[in-house]
Structure 1
Amino acid sequence: MDEIHRFFSRKNTVNYLSEAENAQSGNYLEILRAVCRLSYMSMYVIDYQRKEFEYVSDNQLFLCNHTPAEVMAMGYAFYFKYVSEEDLEMLIRINEIGFDFFDRTPLEDRKNYSISYDFILQTGKEKILINHKLTPIFITSEGKIWKALCVVSLSSNVTSGNILLSKAGEDSFWELDLIGGVWNKMDKSRLTERELQIIRLHAQGLTISQIADRMCIAVDTVKFHRKKLFDKLNVKNIGEALAYVKNNKLL
């Protein structure tokens, strides 16, 4: 499929691997399979040397009614079949800008970065907005990603995009202005212990009244802290707030 080359450039194509680089992968897929057995999220591995998927979990969300083996065989052709033209162009643009950012990052830091964004998977008339995260597993001595882990879950947002790049252990992240191709650095919001407690209880499925009872405070007090939380995170509802705190590891 000729269009697949649009996802690749010199910045993300691995042309050569040394014996030592090949040896580093070992039996890592056995560990990943074990992780997938414990997670509801779909996971797959991109091999940038072979330009294909090396592994696809059997979690149903990402499969679009295919088997893992069928999705692996399709590789990047999967995107062209199940992603709308508009979102596909967005993914190609994210790919270009993301690898430009990665190419400017110090080599020793590159494994610590991950990128997150939302797009729609479409199977027939059914459309599902998913959140897609990608992070390096192995990096070559030249600093290129050899293999990357992708994790797919249901998005808590309402539209495609929402492109965020983060570095492990940092209190800031970068948000992509896709039109201008510019990364804007932003500080992660710091939540109070009461705000964290409220959002943890929401994550457990409790209603506002149940949260008030659990915390021994008035319902109006819970609503007051929720409003402050929404304003702080710049979100409109509890679903978006939960997505923000999960994506930014605030829980």
Structure 2
Amino acid sequence: MAKQIDDFFSMKNTVRSLSESDKGKTMDYLAPIKAFARTTYKSIYIIDYQVKGFEYVSANPLFLCGHTPEEVQQMGYGFYFKYVPETDLDLLLRINTLGFDLYEKQPLEERLLYSITYDFRLRNQEGKDLMINQKLTPLFLTETGQVWKALCVISLSNEQHAGNVKVHKQGTDEVMLYDFDAECWRVQEKIKLSEREQEILQYSSRGFSIKEIAEALFVSPDTVKFHRRKMFEKLEVANISEALSYATHNKLI
């Protein structure tokens, strides 16, 4: 059966009507989002589940595949059908179902605390695949608990394969990771970096070399290398660039 845009919208999260109270929540809410978009290298867009489309798309070119923000906003979910490879499009549809199935089971008063992250490929106008990470978090719920509007933040992924579906709850150190082989969610503790590892990452993010980090921390370069190796093992990454990307995505620094 051919996939359709409506496949992205769960029957469990159908927003058919909005109360005056719902509508009152959104007065000028886009202004701070637009300001944030101007200060970050990440791409940002807003999903409106009532109209089944995009309400806002930032000007960052990472997500645009050569289009203007206005063109992508007009395309809405048609953008995915044009620029996401078929296998990853199937994955996105499955993640959509998994996410809303899990979300429906959470207490209404806690639903705004959850966010979901995952990786998939975008194929740009030159036919080159780019692995990106998308983080989706609800902005507004209806009075009955459906997600009305959601914020999506896109950045480059440090993963080699699509998927990697994780659900985070604000205020906890637990992460729910979806196991596609066992078809179930698994709870794991959030990775914690030592104070020294955080210091090394923070200096690395400022462009410091190993020698410069060692001088700043009053330790030897070999000590910095030791902590870096232990950190790479902990994060399961191969280099400092991947470590920075992972730590940023997962709020470890």
TM tier relative to shorter chain: over 0.9
What corresponds to 2:182 in structure 1?
180
Partner of 1:239: 241
Moved >6 Å (runs of 4+): none
| Cα distance, 1:35 vs structure 2 | 1.3
* Alpha-carbon distance between aligned partners in 1 of 2:91 and 2:64, rounded to the nearest angstrom: 21
- State the partner residue of 1:189: 191
Q: Which amino acid aligns with 2:192?
A: R
TM-score by length of 1: 0.95
Counterpart code for 1:194: R
Asked if the contact 1:42/1:59 (under 8 Å) is kept, the reply is: yes
2:91 aligned residue: 90
Residue 188 of structure 1 deviates from its aligned partner by: 1.2
| Residue 209 of structure 1: aligned partner | 211
- 1:219 matched to 2:227? The reply is no
Q: Which moved more, 1:205-214 or 1:66-75?
A: 205-214
| Residues in 2 aligned to 1:214 and 1:103: alpha-carbon distance in whole angstroms | 49
Q: The residue matched to 1:191 in structure 2 has which SS?
A: coil
Q: What residue in structure 1 maps to residue 130 of structure 2?
A: 128
Q: Cα RMSD between the aligned structures?
A: 1.5
Structure 2: distance between partners of 1:203 and 1:180: 37
Q: Is the 8 A contact 1:174 1:185 kept in 2?
A: yes
Amino acid aligned to 2:235: L
- Structure 2 residue aligned with 1:40: 41
Unaligned residue ranges in structure 1 (runs of 5+): none
1:240 & 1:161 partners in 2: Cα distance?
A: 17
Per mean C-alpha deviation after superposition, the further-off stretch among 227-236 and 135-144 is 227-236
Aligned partners of 2:211 and 2:221: how far apart in 1? Answer: 6
What CA deviation, in whole Å up to 9, does each residue of 1:42-77 have, x standing for no partner? Answer: 100000011010111111111111011110111001
Decide which of 232, 241, 245 is 1:230's aligned counterpart: 232
Shift of 1:8: 1.5
Note the C-alpha offset of 1:2: 6.3
Give, in whole Å, the separation in 2 of the partners of 1:227 and 1:174. 26
Q: Is the 8 A contact 1:97 1:181 kept in 2?
A: no
Q: Any idea what SS the aligned residue of 1:11 has?
A: helix
Instruction: Identify if the C-alpha distance between structure 1 residues 158 and 205 changes in structure 2 by more than 3 Å, giving closer, same or farther.
Output: farther
What percentage of residue pairs aligned between the two structures are identical? 49
Given residue 241 of structure 1, which amino acid in structure 2 is its aligned partner?
Answer: A
Shift of 1:232: 2.4
Residues 2-47 of structure 1: CA distance to partner in whole angstroms, max 9, x if unpaired?
6111112212221111111111111111121111111121100000
Measured against aligned partners, the alpha-carbon deviations of 1:136-184 in whole angstroms (never above 9, x if no partner) come to 0000111110000001111122222222110111111111112333111
Give the alignment of 1:1-251 within 5 angstroms: 3-123=4-124, 124-251=126-253
Q: 1:101 to 1:6 in 2, by over 3 A?
A: same
Question: Any conservation in 1 of the 2:59–2:69 contact (CA below 8 Å)?
Answer: yes
Distance 1:195 1:6 in 2: 43
Amino acid at match of 1:159: H
Q: Describe the shift of the 1:107–1:207 C-alpha distance in structure 2 as closer, same or farther (beyond 3 A).
A: same
Whole-angstrom CA distance in 2 between matches of 1:209 and 1:102: 47
**What code does the residue aligned with 1:242 have?**
L
Q: Measure the CA separation in 1 of the matches of 2:240 and 2:64.
A: 28
Q: Please give the alpha-carbon distance, in whole angstroms, between the structure 1 residues aligned to 2:195 and 2:3.
A: 52
Q: Distance in 2 between matches of 1:40 and 1:248?
A: 17
**CA separation in 1, counterparts of 2:240 and 2:178?**
23
- Contact kept, 8 Å, 2:10 with 2:96, in 1: the verdict is no
Normalised TM-score (structure 2): 0.94
Gaps of 5+ in 2: none
- Is residue 195–residue 229 contact of structure 1 (8 Å, CA) maintained in 2? yes
